[in-house]
Chain A
C-alpha cells in the first residue's frame, strides 16, 4: 500500500540524533528514598553510607522534567525529540499508546553523578491496523550517560516504543505515552456462588456459606454442598475470631502494590472453616501457629474490601 506523501518527511527523520537532556539534580539519597517508598522497595540496601547508589530501574527518573511540563534544565537541547509524533499528530493521528518501555543497564549510578540522555529516532513501522486504530509504531532509543571529566560514560539505555494512531472510533482510548497507571491489588473474580462473601466484607461482616439442608459450613464457597449435595444454602456471620493454622512471610518477588515482607496466614475460624488472608499488626518474625487473631476490614483502591486478621492477646 502506498504511503501518504507526508510520511516521507517523517521517515526522513529516522536515524536522527537529538541532543542532550540533562537531569535537574545529581543522583541523590532523598530522591532514592522517596522513589523506593512509592514503589514499595526496601531502600536500605541503596542508602549505605559512602556507597549510596540508585536502584537501576530508577534510571529514567533522573532526567524527567519535573512537575512543570517541558521544563528541562539549562543546557538541554531545544529540539523536540518527539517531533515525529507532532508531525503525525498534525496529520490526524491524534492518539498515542505506549507499547514497550525496555530499560537496559550498564552499571548502577552513584550519589553525586550527573546524568543526561540523548535520543535517537530508531524506527517507524509500516502502517499497521490494531484494535485501537490505524497508524505507526515509532521506536525511540534514549541513551543515558554520566558526566565524567575523563570522558562521559554510558550507564544504560531505554527503548521506548509507542503506537501513534487514528482511533477506530472517536471514543477509542487514548493515553499519554508516559502515564503508567498506579498498580492496584488484583480484584477477585466474583460469581453467583461467592458474591455473598464479598458483599459481607463491604458490610463489615465475615460470612461463611452454610448448607440449609444439613447445616455444614463451608469455605471456599461453592454452588452445592459436598456433604449432602443440596443446592440450598445461606450464610452465617462469623465471630471473626480464629487462630493461625499456618503462615508464610513473602519476600520475593516484590510485586506492587504489595508491601514486603508480606505475612500471609491460613486462619482457622472459631466456626471451623479456614481461609487465606493477610496478617496485619505483626512484626516480621513474630507470626506463629496457634496465635489468636481477630478479623478487621480494610479498603483498597477505593472499592476492594478485604478481611484481614490482627493478633489479639491470648485469653487465658
Chain B
C-alpha cells in the first residue's frame, strides 16, 4: 500500500437512521435531522463540532440547512456526488479524503428522502423537454418510445446477459428470495416476517420482461446518516471504529446513465470493475478476505455481474454462485443481510452502508459470525462507487 492511500485513514464512528416506510408523514429535512442527530449521539460528538457534509444527488435536503439546524459554526467541507444510487458510497470516499487531508475533522454523510410518498422514480414521467439541453437530447433517444423506467433500462442489459451466459429469471429470483429471507428476520425491514419463495417470484407479474415485480426493489421513505472522522481520533472514542479500508468511484468507457448500450459488450459492468480493482489495490485485500457483502440491488439482474466484477465468481458464472446458495443465509458470501433494497428499504444504497457498519461492529440482526471486512457497492448502470469497511487489525 502506498503512503498516499486512502485506506485506513478514516473511520465511521456514528450511525443513525429513521424507520423505513411508504409514507414517513414528515418532511425530508426532519428525516435528515433525526438520522443525523442519532448518528452524532451514537458517536458521542457534539453537533456543533460538525465541520463537513457529503451527500448525493436527488437528495433535496441541502447541507447548509442541516448545518444551520445542528448549530454547526465552521463548515469547511461540503460535496454532493452525482448519479443518485451510483453515488451511494461516494460521500464516504469524499468524507474520508476530507478527514485524511485535514480539510475537515467531523463529516456527516446522509441520505433523506420521501422517495415513495413524494417522487416515485419509476413513474415514467420525468418532464424532459425538447430544448437542446444535453439531458433532453440524451433522453430524447428513449422517451419518445416510452422506454422510460429504470426497470426497462436494466432489463435491456439483463436480457443480453441471459442470452450470453444462460442465466435465467430463476437465477434473478434466487437473489430476491435470499434478500427477502434476511428481511424476514430484520424488524427494521419493510418486509419483516414476509419471506417469498422462488415460485412466488416466478408468478409475480411482469413489470418489464425479463423483470418480474419481485426483481424490483421497493420505493421507500426514510433517512440514514453517518459520522466520519480520522482513525487517530476514532481510537480515542468509546465506540468501536469501523475503518474505511477502501473507497472508490468509477466511470468507464462509453459510460452513460442507465443506457450504456453502445459498448462492444453489455453483459458486464466495467465501471464496477474499475471500482473493484481500486478497492483491492487500496486495501491489499482479496475476495476471500470478505466475510459478507452488500451488493446494490435496485434490480436483481445487476447483482450477478457485480459478483463477477469483484471476482467472487468467474465472468458469466454468477448464476452457479447463486444456484449454490453462496449468496444466501449460511452461504459462502451472504449478501444483503439486512434484506437489501428488495427487502429492507430503498434508501438509495445508504441503508446498505449502514448494514456494513453493523456487520463490522457485530451488531447486525443477521450477524455473519466474525466479520473482519465487508464490501459495499453502489448503484449499477450509472457511474458508481463502493467501499470496503472493516475492523482495525
Contacts and interface: CB of A to CB of B under 8 A. Distances in A.
Contacts of A187: 130, 140, 144
A189 B137 contact: yes
A188 B146 contact: no
Given A248-B152, A251-B206, A266-B261, A189 B146 contact: no
Contact of A186 (B123, B137, B143, B208): B143
Contact of B140 (A188, A250, A252): A188
Contact of A190 (B132, B209, B210, B261): B132
A83 to B, nearest CB: 35
A42 interface: no
Contacts of B144: 185-188, 300, 304, 306
B157 interface: yes
Contacts of B129: 189
Contacts of A219: 262
A306 B145 contact: yes
A96 to B, nearest CB: 24
A52 to B, nearest CB: 22
Nearest to B209: A249
Given A252-B208, A276-B259, A289-B159, A220 B141 contact: yes
A191 B132 contact: yes
Contacts of A190: 130, 132, 137, 140
B130 to A, nearest CB: 4
Interface string A232-243: 000000000000
Contacts of B209: 248-249, 251, 261
Interface in A185-210: 185-194
Contacts of A308: 145
A249 B145 CA distance: 12
Contacts of B128: 186, 189
Nearest to A192: B132
B331 interface: no
A250 B152 contact: yes
Contacts of B207: 251-252
A12 to B, nearest CB: 36
A289 B210 CA distance: 13
Given A189-B140, A220-B262, A253 B149 contact: yes
A274 B252 CA distance: 19
A29 B177 CA distance: 40
Nearest to B213: A252
Nearest to A275: B141
Given A187-B144, A220-B262, A274-B262, A249 B208 contact: yes
Interface string A69-90: 0000000000000000000000
Interface in A212-226: 219-220
Contacts of B261: 246, 266, 274, 276
Nearest to A258: B146
Contacts of A193: 137
A273 interface: yes
Interface string A85-104: 00000000000000000000
Interface residues of A, number: 38
Interface in A162-203: 185-194
Contact of A278 (B122, B145, B160, B163): B145
Contacts of B145: 262, 264, 276-278, 306, 308
B131 interface: yes
Contacts of A266: 156, 160, 261
B159 A276 contact: no
Contacts, number: 128
B159 A189 contact: no
B142 interface: yes
A18 interface: no
B132 A189 contact: yes
B259 A262 contact: no
A189 B208 contact: no
A264 B144 CA distance: 11
B84 interface: no
B15 to A, nearest CB: 35
A245 interface: yes
Contact of A252 (B134, B159, B206, B259): B206
B159 A247 contact: yes
Given A191-B132, A264-B156, A251 B147 contact: no
A228 interface: no
A248 B156 contact: yes
B193 interface: no
B138 interface: yes
A250 B142 CA distance: 13
B160 A262 contact: no
A108 interface: no
A249 B146 CA distance: 11
A313 to B, nearest CB: 21
A253 B206 CA distance: 10
Contacts of B142: 276
B199 interface: no
Contact of A188 (B141, B205, B211): B141
A289 B159 CA distance: 9
B147 A276 contact: yes
Given A189-B136, A289-B159, 9 more contacts: A189-B132, A189-B137, A190-B130, A194-B140, A219-B262, A248-B208, A255-B125, A261-B206, A264-B146
24 contacts: A185-B144, A186-B128, A186-B140, A187-B130, A188-B130, A189-B128, A189-B136, A190-B130, A191-B134, A192-B132, A220-B138, A246-B261, A248-B159, A249-B206, A250-B147, A250-B149, A250-B208, A251-B207, A252-B206, A253-B124, A255-B123, A255-B124, A264-B145, A276-B147
The 5 closest A-B pairs by CB, nearest first: A189-B136, A188-B140, A258-B146, A191-B132, A248-B155
